[in-house]
Structure 1
Amino acid sequence: MIKLLFTGVLLQVLCSFATQKVKTTLYYESLCPGCHEFIKDQLVPTWKNMSDYMLVELVPYGNAQRNYSGGHWHFKCQHGVLECEENLIHACAVDLLQSRETNKLLNFINCMVFHSDLELHKKTSWCIKNAEIPERKIIACVGGPKAESLILSMAEKTESVTPDWLGVPTVQINGVYNPNEQEEIVDNLKSIICKYLGNPQPDICNQV
């Protein structure tokens, strides 16, 4: 009886540990060099090594501004019209993939970042194929009635971050923005994920 009780408790602990995940929310804009570096050097590599312990949310909007006129929302992006177009492409990919296929989403975003010097539509087409995403669904989203509401939702999420942040990339951990952690997050996301996982730590946290 004692042995069975111990086994049951152990299984509960192991199951709890196995399902514990740290939510990482990245607020960024598609043509920001610092955002590119964070995605390539921190977010994607950390996800590849620690996907069992992470939930990733992407919010492509950044320092854009919005105004309402003529019955529609209009957006002005820090790096110009092309950034607004690419933010929308990213938002459509997020809407299509984030809740179900984070691997594909991050492969697509990483590809877009890696090929940032290519013409927008050329790199988008290439990265869609590379990530094996249904191209027709992205095209339908970008050119469809949902586009405006998608970017508006990204704007509202970004504007809701408190305390006020100074720029991108900005990262929330488990829904909380801590200004004092931003430098470490940008330099060593893995250490922050491990910190929030607590104990017992997965083996990956003890690897250099």
Structure 2
Amino acid sequence: MASYQRLLRLAITSFTIFFCLLSLSSSQKVTLSLYYEALCPYCAEFIVNHLPKIFETGLISSIDLQLVPWGNAVIRPDGTILCQHGEAECALNAIHACAINAYPDVMKHFGYIYCTERLVLENKLEKWADCLEMVGLSRAAVDCYINGYGNQLEQRYAEETSELYPAHRFVPWVVVNNQPLQENYQNFVMYICNAYGSNQVPEGCRILNSSVETLSRFDSSVEKLSNSHQVCYSNH
């Protein structure tokens, strides 16, 4: 257990180190929005295995990252919430909402969300409470959930998700500067980097693009993911 916690803490800490090594970009940030649900395995896989690259390269300094933990949930006529993967998902969605609210610094709330989603992939969700200690955060998110404020935050995320155009068809649903990437969501870095003019490319893009000569060549080298890519489809 101690060894596992050390490894997980090391992985989370690495994001902070990379982030601190690079200064904030003076150019306008690109908005990256992730609409997800906590127990969708493909959302967890994206959060754990793909999103970290923007922290590892310092690209996060050029991005306004918005995490929206609602996904395919629905509000019943009586006002209660029905989640695609059951009550446990509703609870974790609300806890994530509380974390985003309680720890506005993206490094802090992403670190916590990353930790819990890694536990989802490892089938160790019962250890979710340990993530607060691992990332060095207070109990504010847990207190927020216990007092019911998390459900109020979830209502806001439900409204935000319902206003997507076009409407989301599945999660993870990734949007870059209001452009939904749909099945091509794993290529989100390409869209982020191409949102900048050729004279304003962030250093993080240059790092990720070091194996090719130009961003345009990078663009043409990426194959679009097929429609059969694994996602959690909306039932409504």
TM norm structure 1: 0.80
- Secondary structure of the 1:197 match is coil
1:23 is aligned to: 31
Choose 1 or 2 for highest CA Rg. Answer: 1
**Kept in 1: contact 2:95–2:150 (CA 8 A):** no
2:85 is aligned to: 79
2:141 is aligned to: 138
Q: What is the CA deviation profile of residues 25-79 of structure 1, one whole-angstrom value per residue up to 9, with x for unaligned ones?
A: 100000011111111222122233201111111110111110242xxx2001000
CA RMSD of aligned residues (A): 1.8
Unaligned runs of 5+ in 2: 1-24, 212-236
**Candidates 43, 55, 60, aligned match of 1:35:** 43
2:114 is aligned to: 110
1:172 and 2:153 equivalent?
Answer: no
Indicate how the Cα distance of structure 1 residues 145 and 40 shifts in structure 2: closer, same or farther if over 3 A, else same.
closer
1:195 and 2:194 equivalent?
Answer: yes
- Give 1:177 deviation, angstroms: 3.7
1:58 and 2:67 equivalent?
Answer: yes
- Secondary structure of the 2:132 match is helix
- Secondary structure of the 2:50 match is helix
**Kept in 2: contact 1:19–1:53 (CA 8 A):** yes
2:154 is aligned to: 151
- Give 1:91 deviation, angstroms: 0.6
**Kept in 2: contact 1:65–1:75 (CA 8 A):** yes
Moved more, 149-158 or 189-198: 189-198
- Give 1:145 deviation, angstroms: 4.1
Unaligned runs of 5+ in 1: 1-16
- Secondary structure of the 2:76 match is strand
Indicate how the Cα distance of structure 1 residues 182 and 198 shifts in structure 2: closer, same or farther if over 3 A, else same.
farther
Cα distance in 1 between the residues matched to 2:73 and 2:150: 16
**Kept in 1: contact 2:29–2:62 (CA 8 A):** yes
Higher relative contact order (CA 8 A, sep 6+): 1
Kindly indicate which of the two structures has a greater share of residues assigned to helix.
1
Indicate how the Cα distance of structure 1 residues 139 and 202 shifts in structure 2: closer, same or farther if over 3 A, else same.
closer
What residue identity is the alignment partner of 1:152?
Q
**Kept in 2: contact 1:46–1:189 (CA 8 A):** no
**Percent of aligned pairs sharing the same letter:** 31
Cα distance in 2 between the residues matched to 1:159 and 1:26: 14
Cα distance in 2 between the residues matched to 1:204 and 1:155: 32
Cα distance in 1 between the residues matched to 2:172 and 2:146: 27
TM norm structure 2: 0.71
- Give 1:23 deviation, angstroms: 0.8
- Give 1:189 deviation, angstroms: 2.2
Q: What is the CA deviation profile of residues 65-102 of structure 1, one whole-angstrom value per residue up to 9, with x for unaligned ones?
A: 10242xxx20010001110011111110011123xx11
- Secondary structure of the 2:195 match is helix
